[in-house]
Amino acid sequence: MSKIIRRSFSLFRGPSTSSLVRRAARDGHETIHIQRVHLQRRFFTKPRVVGTAFALGGTYAFLAWFDGVLEKLELEEEEGAVAGPKKSESDEGAREGREITDAEEDEVDEEEEEEGLIFFPTGFSRPKPKTFYKGSDPEWQEFVKIAPDRKRLDRIRAELVSTIRQLAVNSPQYTMRLGKINPQKGNTWIDVRFPDGPPIEYERPGYELTDELNFRKTTRDVHELHHQRMKNLLVPSAVANSLYQDSKRKAAVWWKDTKKYMGWQDKPETNTAQKLLTQFPAPPASAPTTPAASTTASSATTPLPAPSATPDGDKQATPSSSSPLGNPAYERFGLTLPDPTKVPTLDLSHFRHTFRHNHRHFHLSPPRGTFIVSGLIEIVGDRAKMTLDVTAAYDPKMGRYVMLRANLRHVVDYQQRPKGGS
């Protein structure tokens, strides 16, 4: 009785094979069949769903409580920081009559540059709220000085034009396409634009561990290039669009072939010119030199007799009888397997072309304190002329361009031939 109860409440121990055989022999059976059966439980069972819901609810409640504790700690720190200036004022009054030592300077630096030991990110990078320049900002004051100075703006425009044309003169690709380039010729259209605010910055939220082994909610700055790379990695819009265009093109080709094979496609009506051309016989492959040769050529235009079936049958039987693997078993039963050396290739040319067209390169924003100089610059050569769409960032403090980007707008050849033929 105890064995029966133990086996009934056991999850991993079942009856042994020998006991089953003895039991069958005792009951008078000569042959028994033992079949192992594995019963697999469903993944989304009711106890598992209820347990998962309780676990998620408890985790959310714990995180909410932990966030409230951190907010209380932050409020206490802010209250301590408000009471701190009173102490600092008394300390400054005591220090007025003497010099500040190096140890006191180190203490001040440590108080100002308090950073956490470890940073735990809790999400992806995100843009900070956009800010604008104030009238008291040094960047805006510099813009106010430059805006009415027309001579300086003309020098800045001329510097951009000379830089672009000099780069074109030194580039062998431009000279090969345009010919000899004259840096003094060409029209220009340059505008100067002062931004309303600094570039957008990015941050990553998270928690950091302080020196007192306390957690506090904070953010860390993230470079714009890193943010754009992560965005392209998580949201690959260029890859998805290229894959859609390539699949759409292949589906259209497949549907066209299917309609042609099933006879659903209407035969296009041939125009009159094609009908007139089909009425004339095709010219011979080689020009006849003698009357005998012309007779031979004319007789060669007669339809050839149908080939005999025996050679073709032999040719067709040869590849079917020989297996690429060279196994006599396959040759005996007449099996034909595909050649493993001939790997099927996938046409990805249209996908690559679309991806290069839709791929967005990383364009960094101009640094803080710079203004935008953009416009059209024409480059004139011996064979053709080219127009570039140029955008640059000029730093007035450094007195030079810190960023430069040029895109091709169009190319015009001096001698244009008809592509349809003469």
pLDDT in tens, 21-56: 777 777 776 676 767 777 777 777 888 888 899 899
What are the Cα distances from residue 101, in Å, to 85, 98, 244?
20, 9, 69
203/223 Cα distance (integer angstroms): 8
370/365 Cα distance (integer angstroms): 10
Beta strand segments in 270-370, E: none
pLDDT in tens, 236-272: 888 888 888 888 988 998 888 888 888 887 665 555 5
Please tell me the least confidently modeled range out of 40-44, 127-131, 290-294, 409-413. Answer: 290-294
pLDDT in tens, 173-197: 999 999 999 999 999 999 999 999 9
| Cα 192 to the center of its chain, rounded Å | 33
Q: Quick check: 63 and 215 in contact, CB under 8 A?
A: no
pLDDT of residue 124: 85
End-to-end CA distance of the chain: 107
253/261 Cα distance (integer angstroms): 12
User: Regarding beta strands 371-380 and 384-395, do their DSSP bridges make them parallel or antiparallel, or are they unpaired?
Assistant: antiparallel
> Is residue 308 very low, low, confident or very high in pLDDT (cuts 50, 70, 90)?
very low
How many C-beta atoms surround the C-beta of residue 181 within 10 A? 23
Q: Quick check: 368 and 201 in contact, CB under 8 A?
A: no
Q: pTM for this one?
A: 0.50
Residue whose token pair is 């080709």: 253
381/180 Cα distance (integer angstroms): 5
| Mean pLDDT value across residues 80-109 | 53
pLDDT of residue 235: 80
3-state class (DSSP) for residue 397? coil
3-state class (DSSP) for residue 114? coil
| Mean pLDDT value across residues 364-387 | 92
DSSP, res 338: -
| Cα 293 to the center of its chain, rounded Å | 65
